Chain A
Amino acid sequence: MSNKKILIVDDDPDVRQGMYVRLKANHYVPIFAADGLTAMSEARKQEPDLIILDLGLPAGDGFVVMERFKSIPAVAVIPVIIVSARAGHGNRQRALNAGAKAFLEKPVDNDQLLAAIRNALGEPAPPSPAALPAAK
């Protein structure tokens, strides 16, 4: 299957772990960062295929981090999905304008998250949605 590397940027360790288990079960390789600075260095070092970014981060919010990503050519090309609890109309528009591939509201439905990831990575949808028994 995929084996694509996904950088999860979220300051909540529980949310990071939950995301880790879910992504791993879907054959992705999750890596982490808890703040903007670590996200920058991890993105540069590991060159992930996708970045999942929270907006409310310590030391510089997600928008600032996105801007910094853009300043490094190797990182600027990596697709970004925003996952945030602050899901007002303004933030959504701002994130999409800044180039985010998708804007998802916390808590994100698992199917929705996986679909957004596949879409951002240009992967085809799975042949049957019941590859894993989905909890509805």
Chain B
Amino acid sequence: MNKNLLRILLVEDNEGDARLLREMFRSEAPGSFELTHLLRMSDATVHLAKGSTDIVLLDMGLPDAHGLDTVRMAYAAAPTIPLIVISGLDDEALAAQAMKEGAQDYLIKGQIENRALPRALRHAIERHRMQAEADLVRTNKLQFKDEFLSHVSHELRSPLTAIYQFVTILLDRLAGELNPEQIEYLSIILRNTKQLQSMINDLLEVTRMQASKLKIDLQCISPSAAILDAVNTLRGAAEAKRITLTSSIADPLPPICADPTRLLQILIILLDNAIKFTPPDGIVNLHAGIFAEDPALLLLTVSDSGCGIAPDMTERIFDRLFQTAHPDVGGRNGLGLGLYICKDLVNRQGGRIWASASHGQGAVLSVVLPVFSLPNLIAPALKRERHTQGPVSVIVTETTSLTGYLSDTDRVEKGQGVRDILLGCLHSDMDILLPKMRSSAPTELFFILAITDNIGSAAIAKRIRERLQGSTVLQLAGLTAVVYHRSLPHIKRDVSESMKDFSDRVAAQLQDLMNDEISARKVIHVQ
């Protein structure tokens, strides 16, 4: 194949405009351009998936996509291919937005000179290549920094382990009796060792955050367990300062869509912080209840009787490496990463954190996290896919029980992102599902939710993809959300068991579990 051959994909539904554009390549050397002309976005995304395109020329008004959405969709289909928008609108703001969404250039129809278009294409490709190179250098640099920090943090842990071991050996009198002065000094060493340990942990956490290695495993959980755990963890620290640590939990608390480990981490950071900034004999309270302004959110507040937060500091306390200098609080307080980590963890779970200014009357830190619902469950994946098309359809497979659970309007409200819930149980139901899927909007995004991540649901996902990939009616966006219950891996089908018996048995067990509303675990992975 000719190395200089430029393979152009023109997506334009107006035949007249397409002809004009085609004309502009006429005077170029033969064999230097290969133009593929398509009329619809859906065809273009299929073509782009083949990977035989060097550059895209995109009209912003297509039968199945319009405006900036065309740019978003083309960019999502092939983020590594340079994209030039051709538009009839001479609109600076729109051009700027198109560039922001991933376009390399914005050309106005009727203002493109004959020889200018091929040149613009070559330049766009060159610009795109240089940008990709710069991105790579930047990524490599960041990766080095992350690896360095991660390495150093890990290496610091070994000597720290030995210090901890021997200080506790001495304090536990395993090497003989101690006098009160020795006990006091060893306790100081131990306290500082723990401080160092928590700083190293923070450093590792931030490294993981920046390297996007931090795993958030959203589940349907009851927040009460984490609240009690956090309060118990910090009880010792509070008692040491004679601080009264209380919790008030509204009854009933709805299940929320969060990562239980991360929720606990958030609460521990907030309580630890409150205890640190509260003088002896003070009060720290953790409250949980439905957020009055929005019942789809759970509100968690940590309030204390400490020195409070100055009005100009309510934003800054979440900055990386922020440290306060308050006369009431002596000594070191860590790296200034706690609230920064906290904010990141809250945001990643679709929540929000803020501090209320109340100088001199104690601080109030509030966190809201989404209450468990189907739209909330798939929201992070929608965001990652840059999905802006409005509601999506959800296909629920595998068991009758969960489909019932999810489609029960009392529990899950449709809307807010979910257009339709298509129900299907096993392989055979695909024949019922596929026509339903075909009748949906052409650029519909589908989620497949399955109870287990076993071969069955993978096979269903594969079948749907196979059946819809070549279709001009529907695109499967290549996303599979697998929802499965934490206790379900233990449910396995016996070889002698019929599929129906198995399904009934799973359904019965699920119903029990769902009644408890303990946990539905979720894994979203991009296929």
Contact = CB atoms under 8 A, between A and B. Distances in A.
B154 interface: yes
A107 B171 contact: no
Interface string B134-171: 00000000000000000000110111111011111101
A18 interface: yes
B178 to A, nearest CB: 11
B215 interface: yes
B242 to A, nearest CB: 16
A52 B168 CA distance: 19
A96 to B, nearest CB: 13
Interface string A11-23: 0101100110110
Nearest to B261: A89
Contacts of A135: 167-168, 171-172, 190
Given A18-B166, A107-B197, A85 B161 contact: yes
B228 to A, nearest CB: 19
Contact of B157 (A22, A89, A106, A136): A106
Contacts of B169: 18, 21-22, 25
A59 interface: no
A134 interface: yes
B26 interface: no
Contacts of B215: 89
B213 interface: yes
A125 interface: no
Nearest to B159: A14
B148 to A, nearest CB: 15
A19 B165 contact: yes
B173 A18 contact: no
Contact of B162 (A15, A25, A86, A132): A15
A100 to B, nearest CB: 18
Contacts of A85: 154-155, 157-158, 161
Contacts of B197: 107
Interface string A104-136: 001110100000000000000000000011111
Contacts of A134: 172
A18 B161 contact: yes
B63 interface: no
B88 interface: no
B158 to A, nearest CB: 5
Contacts of B171: 135
Contact of B158 (A89, A106, A132): A106
A21 B213 CA distance: 36
Contact of A15 (B154, B165, B190): B165
A63 to B, nearest CB: 16
Contact of B154 (A14, A86, A107): A86
Nearest to B175: A21
A107 B164 contact: yes
A30 B155 CA distance: 25
A88 interface: yes
B208 interface: yes
A106 B201 CA distance: 10
B236 interface: yes
- Taking chain A's interface residues, is the majority helix, strand, or loop, or is none over half, making it mixed? loop
Contacts of B166: 14, 18
B154 A110 contact: no
Interface string A73-88: 0000000000001101
A2 to B, nearest CB: 16
Given A88-B208, A107-B197, A133 B161 contact: no
B174 A25 contact: yes
A28 to B, nearest CB: 13
A12 B158 contact: yes
A88 B159 CA distance: 19
Contacts of B213: 88-89
B390 to A, nearest CB: 34
A107 B161 contact: yes
Interface in B215-272: 215, 236
B388 to A, nearest CB: 31
Contacts of B190: 135
A107 B157 contact: yes
Given A135-B167, A135-B168, A12 B162 contact: yes
A133 B183 CA distance: 13
A130 to B, nearest CB: 11
B172 A18 contact: no
Contacts of A107: 157, 160-161, 164-165, 193, 197
A22 B174 contact: yes
Contacts of A22: 165, 168-169, 174
A56 B71 CA distance: 48
Contacts of A136: 236
A95 to B, nearest CB: 15
Contacts of B193: 107
A21 B174 contact: yes
Contacts of B161: 12, 15, 18, 85, 106-108
B157 A133 contact: no
A18 B154 contact: no
A88 B150 CA distance: 10
Interface in A1-57: 12, 14-15, 18-19, 21-22, 25, 56
Interface of B: 154-155, 157-162, 164-169, 171-175, 190, 193, 197, 208, 213, 215, 236
Given A22-B169, A22-B174, 10 more contacts: A14-B166, A15-B161, A15-B162, A22-B168, A56-B154, A85-B157, A89-B215, A106-B161, A107-B160, A107-B164
15 contacts: A15-B158, A19-B165, A85-B161, A88-B213, A89-B213, A89-B215, A106-B157, A106-B161, A107-B161, A107-B193, A107-B197, A132-B172, A135-B168, A135-B172, A136-B236
Closest 7 interchain pairs by CB? A18-B165, A135-B171, A85-B157, A14-B162, A107-B161, A107-B164, A135-B168
